[in-house]
Structures are given as structure tokens and as C-alpha cells.
Amino acid sequence: MNIFSQSATVILKCSVLRTISLDPWNWFSIECISNEDVDDGDTVTDFMAQERERGITIQSAAVTFDWKGYRVNLIDTPGHVDFTLEVERCLRVLDGAVAVFDASAGVEAQTLTVWRQADKYKIPRICFLNKMDKTGASFNYAVESIREKLKAKPLLLQLPIGEAKTFKGVVDVVSKEKLLWNSSSVDGKDFERKPLLEMSDPKLLKETTEARNALIEQVADLDDEFADLVLGEFSENFDLIPAEKLQTAIHRVTLAQTAVPVLCGSALKNKGVQPLLDAITMYLPSPEERNYEFLQWYKDDLCALAFKVLHDKQRGPLVFLRIYSGLIKPQLAIHNINGNCTERISRLLLPFADQHVEIPSLTAGNIALTVGLKHTATGDTIVSSKSSALAAARRAGREGGKKHGQNSEAERLLLAGVEIPEPVFFCTIEPPSVAKQPDLDHALKCLQREDPSLKVRLDPDSGQTVLCGMGELHIEIIHDRIKREYGLETYLGPLQVAYRETILNSVCASDTLDRTLGDKRHLVTVELEAKPIETSSVMPVIEYAEGVSEDILKASQEAIENGIHSACLQGPLLGSPIQDVAITLHSLIIHPGTSSTMISACVSRCVQKVLKKADKQVLEPLMNLEVTVTRDYLSPVLADLAQRRGNIQEIQTRQDNRVVIGFVPLAEIMGYSTVLRTLTSGSATFAVELSHYQAMNPQDQSTLLNRRSGLT
């Protein structure tokens, strides 16, 4: 898909979002008109072998180019739920976004997830209804799904000329012009723009006039300045309102996020892409229009956010930076606030997917690719020096004191990060031989730095390396990358679900640890209580009874909490993490000279004892499931979901298809794609995402425990 634009920051993606960044500097030009597309498996931004084989985006990729005098930084992000962190960390650095929908499906399951992520970061958006030439495409259905499911107010800036096989162009509602693409044009460059005339297009002109009047009324309701203009000069005839005035008002409404402009087209042959890029430059914000509060604290000093790290075999770590203020040059020493370290940028590159252009400097509003930052990770804040960071912190502290009486808000903005979701799948991974274990460790270390949602841990009982990921596809891709990029033939164990555990009643226990090491005696006595809590909490809630000495707490609180946290990492039933539990320390007696390690060990042992005494419950991950299936295959799909302990919430109608929405335990949908293909002759599709953890019923829990212990 050939998408270009201006310069702020935007996202675009099929049924989700991708990313673009726009800023008004035009000093460097890249020729990026290309004939590659998803359907041929050679998209510019999908350069990984796995992406081209599967026809999907796995890693976000950045492209910088110019469009009609504007610099554009585009970031292509994945649409699959397993790679949602890629979207999250790119959204953090965006100024604006383009949500790309399948016109035959409208809002889909993952669309809702990414839309909520964009809401979280307050990103202004444009909607692009793609695949208007696809069988079953419906402009009205897609618009209605945006209105109903996303609770957004769509502003129809275009109308399609035909749908499905008859789609040949679009009508510009604002200027009342039609854009027709030459049917023989492969790359979409050959199109003509004509004004709508009463003589040649009476029906289309009438529809467009009605749509334009409705658009004007919508915008007037949302923008007071435009409303005054409409009610004053042009109340008698809306046709006289200049297109420029309407476009300016739409720009303000888009920035205020009170409505979303909607455009349509077909990216396969680039029909509608040029007006989409014009709309991006016209309606989405430039970096200067985005109000980042922390910029006032840095003045003109450098402030940038590292939002992605790639590992290159020749260059080492490549760090993507969004520059918010200041200037970056090669050989510049920078300070990493999060890591509290100073590093030097050896080279500065402008990203173009997997090809990069070396440049002498880069200013605010741009996305840079840096070489030489060995300790910088995703979410780190980069400034010019430690003194600059301290000065900004002082300004933020003064501002925070005026507004909130504390500087916690300022601190959060200074150390902006990305929330890493918890993995739901895990499996063991083994190298071909013991001699290759260091190579595997190195590969996993590099991949973890690139992808923070990938977790690697060592099983304390078996000594095996365990991969923890967001889904089957996620782990499959990691396994494939280790083979292709690092030349290691690794072996994966069976996929297992990441269960969690909790307790059902309050229990007290005490423990004493008495050890003599050398000539020093270590003596600790602990009494504590564990109880369930109603609010969901992944980490244990730690409380202290009034009888616990403040002096002891002051000296040993860190050791106590380390002991509690380590004990809650492995529950007594499955060795899964404990959640939704409060630990209250009632008594702690420490012999003088006792080390903090011994205090942690005693507390940890006592927590394990109290958890074993309590009534225990296994929690399993419950997934939101959405299956799109034709009416003919609905019955077998529902029967299969019933066998998988599925809970159907509703069945919606989408064109000629049925959409089954419900909840299914994660353990029951491993390998579901193969089964669904067999049941429906390959005609159905499905999407899943983690909803929450729920308690297993006693029978299922007993079956799981017996299976894990080898009894069944």
C-alpha cells in the first residue's frame, strides 16, 4: 500500500491503525513512489521474511518522505493482537493517526483495541475506508459501524462512486468535485478531477449537495467560530461557503477530537490515496499544533523519546527517537534520564523501512534513527545533558507545586514510558546442543530488547529456558527469527497457558529462621496474614499492622517486600504467579546483625507457608472472541464453541455474514484457526484478545491439576 503524507505523526492500518508523522520542514527529499503492495508480498514497510510470507505486519516500520511541501514520518504498525505492543509504543510518539478499515467489515475486534489506545494518548484521527472495490464493500455500513461501535462522529468528506466491482472513484464533498481513476492505471497515478455539473451528473450532484449541507451543519454544531460564520454571512445559501473556510473548521474539529473525517478508496491500485494524503496535511496536526506540556520545561533543549529498538548485526542497536524539542547531530553526547547514563550518538539516520539514509542533523517534530546508544531501551527519555534534565525537573517541580502541590505528574511526563502487557502463553526453548546455549541467550537478549512484550525466564526446577509471549503467532515468529537471523535450530516445548492463582480465605502463619554463618547468628521471627481482595491486583498488596516497629520497618522494609514479592511469583498449586492477595505483616523480630537476605528468606518462607494453608483457586485467562462466519456454517461453529466452554454474548449480522461474539478460555482455543478452517471450508475468520482472568470451576481445576501432576 503506497501511503504518503505531510509531517506531524499519523497511524494507518487495515482494520486498525498505521502511523505517520507530519512537520512543516522540507529540506530533504526521498523518492518513495513504489509499486510494491501487500497482495504481491513486497510492501516497502513489510520487509521481514515472515511478514512477506504471511502478508501481515509484525514489526512497526518507519518511512520518511515529502508530500506537497510537507515532511512526513510514516510508521506502519501491526494489526494482529499478538503484536499490540508495537502499536502502543508507536502511538506514544504520534501527532495524528489514520485508521484504515475494511469497507466490507467495518469496525472489527482489534479495531476497538487500537481505537482505545489512540483515545488513551489523545491522538486526532482520520478514518479511511479501504477495499471499496472488494465484493461486499458497503460505505454506509462501515460508516454506521464507526458511529455505533466506536461512538465517534463521522464527518463524510467523500462519497464513493460505485461500490465493489463498480467502484471507480470518489466525490469530494467539500469542493463538490469528482475524482475518477483510469481503469487501466496500475499504480493509481492516472486520475482526473472534474467539477460536478447539473447537466452531466444531476443525481450525483444532488447527493453531494445534501451531503455537503449535512457536513456543514455537523461542523457548525461542533465549532462555534464556524457556526457564527454560517449563521452570519451564509445562512441563506450554504453553497456559497468557501471550501477553505469549511476545511479550516474541519481541521479545528479534528484537533479537538470531537469528530473524525471519513474518506474512502482502494489501496490495491492506489485509488483515493492522493486525496487521503491531502487530507492528512490539511486536517491532522503538525508538531507545532500538538500541546505537549513538558516542552515548556525544556525550552529549546533536546527532549526526545526512545520508542523502539532494533538490533542490526553490523551497526549494533538502532534506536528510534521521536524528537520533541532541540536538535540531534552525530557525535552528540546525550543523557538518558531513565537509565541515568550518558551515551554518544555515533551516526544519525533517516528511516526508510529497512533502508536508511545518513544525515547531518535532525530537528524537532521528526523521527530519527540513531546508532551507538547501547543502553537505551523502549520508553527512555533522552535529553542533552544531566544538567538539562535537572533544570527541567526544577521547572516541572515548581509548576507541579503550583498546580498539584506535588511533582508526581511532572515526574511521570519526564519519565514517559510504555505499559508492557503481561504474556499469556509460554513454552520451553532449547538449543541444539549445550555448546549453543550462549548463542541462544544472546539471541534472546537481542530479541527482548527489540520486543519488550517477550519475556524470558529460567525454570528453577528443570533449568530450562522459558519463552513467554502474547500468543501462538508471537512465539512462532520469535522461533522463526532465531532460526533465520541467528542461525540456531532451536526446539520448542508444547505451548502452555499462563495461569494464575489466588486464595479464597484469610489465613495466618508464623515462621522463624535461625542460622549461624561463621561467627554471626541470623535470627528472624515473622508473623503475617494473607487474605483475598476484591479488586484485581497482579502484585500483592502489602500492609503493616500497628504493632510493627517503625524503626524495624525503616531498616528492613525493602527486604520484607522483596521476600513477599518473590514468594508470590510461584503459587502452591501450579507454580503460577499469585494475584488478588493482600499480605499483612503483624510481627517481625530481628536479632541484631541479621542480614537483609535472611530477613527476605524468612518472610518469603512464611508467605509460602500461609499460601499453602489457605483454600486455593486457579485463575485462567479468558479471551474475547469474535468469529465472522457465513450463515451456512453458523451451527457447527456454535456447537464447537460450546464444547470449548465458550460463553456466547451475541450474534450480529454483518452484510451476508454472522459475527459471533463471546468469551472462551485461552486453553480451549489453542490451534483453533485450523479447526475453524476445517469446519467452514476456510470461509470464516476470527480474532481474540485477552479480556481478564477468571476462576476455574472445581471440575476443570481438578482435571488441570491431575494432568499437570501426571495422573491423567
Q: Do strands 381-383 and 333-336 pair parallel, antiparallel, or not at all (unpaired)?
A: antiparallel
C-alpha closest to that of 275 among 262, 285, 288: 262
- H-helix segments, 376-471: 386-403, 408-414, 437-450
C-alpha closest to that of 226 among 215, 291, 172, 126: 215
Residue 78 marked ligand-binding: yes
Cα radius of gyration rounded to whole Å, the chain? 29
Task: Provide the grid cell at 192.
Answer: 482526473
Order of all β-strands in the sheet with 520-532: 507-517, 520-532, 581-590, 541-544
Residue 131 marked ligand-binding: yes
Residue 551 marked ligand-binding: no
Residue 132 marked ligand-binding: yes
501 and 621 in contact (C-beta within 8 Å)? no
**What b/e sequence results for 6-45 when a residue is b if at least 16 CB atoms lie within 10 Å of its CB, and e otherwise?**
bbbbbbbbbbbbbbbbbbebeeeeeebeeebbbeeeebbb
Which H or E run contains 691? strand 685-695
Residue 76 marked ligand-binding: yes
234 and 216 in contact (C-beta within 8 Å)? no
Residue 213 marked ligand-binding: no
177 and 171 in contact (C-beta within 8 Å)? yes
Per-residue DSSP letters for 96-127?
EEEEEEETTTBS-HHHHHHHHHHHHTT--EEE
For residue 578, what is the DSSP state?
B
Residue 353's Cβ-count burial label (10 Å; 0-12, 13-18, 19+) is middle
Per-residue DSSP letters for 619-630?
EEEEEEEEEEEE
Please give the annotated binding residues, written as ranges.
Answer: 76-80, 130-133
Residue ranges of the annotated binding site for GTP are 76-80, 130-133
